[in-house]
A and B are shown apart, each in its own frame.
Chain A
Amino acid sequence: QSALTQPPSASGSVGQSVTISCTGTSSDVGRYKFVSWYQQHPGKAPKLMIYEVTKRPSGVPDRFSGSKSGNTASLTVSGLQAEDEAEYHCSSYTGNDNNLWIFGGGTRLTVL
């Protein structure tokens, strides 16, 4: 499998909503429920924001939501706040032992 496809950048103003897409194939995103989203601030480790397409870990604001349609997953951030400015990565399980998990290239979210 190749990496998942994400837009390199996205932006929105404080208080607005923004949606980031993550496109895979019928062998990964389209096949499995194990799609996740991670937030990464510069120089920091990734932080899990969404797992199993739509679930939020404890402590993640409900402004963050996930969805999936066919081979494309999406992360929506509502009510943008300044601290949401970060890189966002999607991932999917593939079931392929030689590349068990794949990631997107990351999307840089700018809060205007």
Chain B
Amino acid sequence: GIQVEQSPPDLILQEGANSTLRCNFSDSVNNLQWFHQNPWGQLINLFYIPSGTKQNGRLSATTVATERYSLLYISSSQTTDSGVYFCGGSNYKLTFGKGTLLTVNP
């Protein structure tokens, strides 16, 4: 099956800083999504982005399908951005990476 590798595993930022999270896939996928897991455990869908670039407020994502990776950009980070960020890719069911634990300090 598809292997998903996320980096970095942990990231600590000061409020206002920018960050980039990366997701690599072992094989091509036609369904790629980014999620934020809040402290209560719920996964919130941030982007459905099999290719190209999308932006939503301070967050944006880029997927380069031919090179099998995706990037999530967080600008002007806030403490509420803290949590675990997961990417998942699939051809019919999502396989997730181990996540990036982001801590944003005030």
A and B, one complex?
A: no
Q: Which residues of A contact B (CB under 8 A)?
A: none
